[in-house]
Chains A and B, each alone.
Chain A
């Protein structure tokens, strides 16, 4: 039997094409990009060797420091926001809506499938102050406040970005975490209630520890995605005002394609990759430790 399932020719035919395409599009370029980090130039003008100049530039570049700081800040705030908002929604679904929650679940999920560019443009118009006073500023005016130029400063633009990305994805995390909460056996909750645990105590002592695994995997998934943020920022602020909302991904893109410096662009891409791997590793380690102790 194993002769049939171990047929080398068949394995090569089935696996070969996928492995070939994957290697050519992903694996080879990764190594190649590493090589670009030691050069200067671009595809059109050709490349010249540059030693480790790109790396020493990376260490001294204040723009890199800003972009890295922005990336980490954005990832931390959005990850916390997404997972907390999602968890609150999931608690709402499980404990207060129960049967009625299917429709709400589906409805809150829908922004996930919307194109990010469309959502970005929509939020830009929703929060704008000129040429038209958008709904958010109109609401502020109606309540007696002055209009706010949300995109005039990096600080407020950052918060619009946060609001948008939480709006976009909280339904997703709600469904993910909902699946974890539904798995908690009713008997466990019932007996905890008989012990007198209600409300917050019930959630903190029983529900939270039991849903920790799915909470941790949401966290890992979220941080992995938010470190790579690109679309929503390009569509909403394009990194502005100035470079106030520029993450590493966008800085790499601009360095490569606006300033045609592929060598330095590759070096920034490498930094981004290292950051992603390191953060994932740390989160994974921490979550493992929590699980074994809990």
Chain B
């Protein structure tokens, strides 16, 4: 803290600058090098996306024989239907949705209830319980894969999407519980006292009073967890030993195999489908996504 005090104290007595101090904060990027850096940044961020999209519209010949910079000679929109049907991307997207949606719903429900119990309710041992949940964030998922594989295999769940749903809920709960408990910290307990005096039980107060209050937090946590689960490769790769159960990520990783020889157009179309899905969500909810993901990091 000494570092702040020193300049403040000497500010009055310090030598007056010969010319007005340069104030970078005041100049709004009108320097040449700032413009160059920003332009470079834009190219680095956006060009790969454009290149990927243009390539997804090329025929195999066009891709292999013409310059990588060129526009498609013929615009092969058929690559997308090819990827969706022959490449099975349609099936994979469906599998992903069937795993992600129930997992997300279950995780939010359980996590919010637990967050409420840990933050609003008053009982001995709740900070210890929260710590137990937090420990789950430190341990790498490799530590739980093999026993879970055995359990899913023995119970006959292996041929279904249930292993994915259950594992996603379990691995997502620590962050969900922690973030929801943090959000409940801003809700005063008196609110629930009032609600229960009016005759509602505490469980009812949780459902009808507290849930509407943390609606925003639910959306934020839901978004963060959606991206984690949707983009997951490790768990999906471990538990989908059947081709028909592949999620979009596992399917994309093995995409080349399904055609025999590599079909570059459909491959890029498949990458595009995968990317544009998440990009679309980001387009509409980017501020929420940025806030959610970074707050998850600071707390985790």
Contact = CB atoms under 8 A, between A and B. Distances in A.
Interface of A: 1-2, 4-8, 10-11, 13-15, 17-19, 21-22, 24-30, 32-33, 36, 43-44, 92, 94-100, 104-118, 121-123, 125-126, 131-135, 138, 167, 172, 175-176, 179, 186-189, 191-199, 205-206, 209-210, 214, 217-218, 221, 224, 227-228, 230-231, 234-235, 249, 252-253, 256-257, 262, 265-266, 268-270, 272-273, 276-277, 280, 294
Nearest to A187: B8
Contacts of B63: 132
B147 A117 contact: no
Contacts of B297: 172, 176, 217-218, 221
A5 B268 CA distance: 55
A6 B170 contact: no
Interface in B80-99: none
Given A22-B173, A25-B169, A272-B142, A175 B68 contact: no
A176 B67 CA distance: 39
A200 to B, nearest CB: 11
B41 A115 contact: no
Contact of B41 (A108, A122, A253): A108
Main secondary structure of the interface of A (DSSP, over half): helix
Nearest to A196: B17
Interface in B8-50: 8, 10-11, 14-15, 17, 21-25, 27-29, 31, 34, 37-38, 41-42, 44-48
B174 A116 contact: no
Contacts of A206: 3-4, 7
Nearest to A277: B138
Contacts of B14: 194-196
Contact of B64 (A17, A132, A252, A270): A132
A107 B45 contact: yes
Main secondary structure of the interface of B (DSSP, over half): helix
Nearest to A102: B287
Contacts of B132: 27
A188 B8 contact: yes
Given A33-B146, A235-B253, A122 B231 contact: no
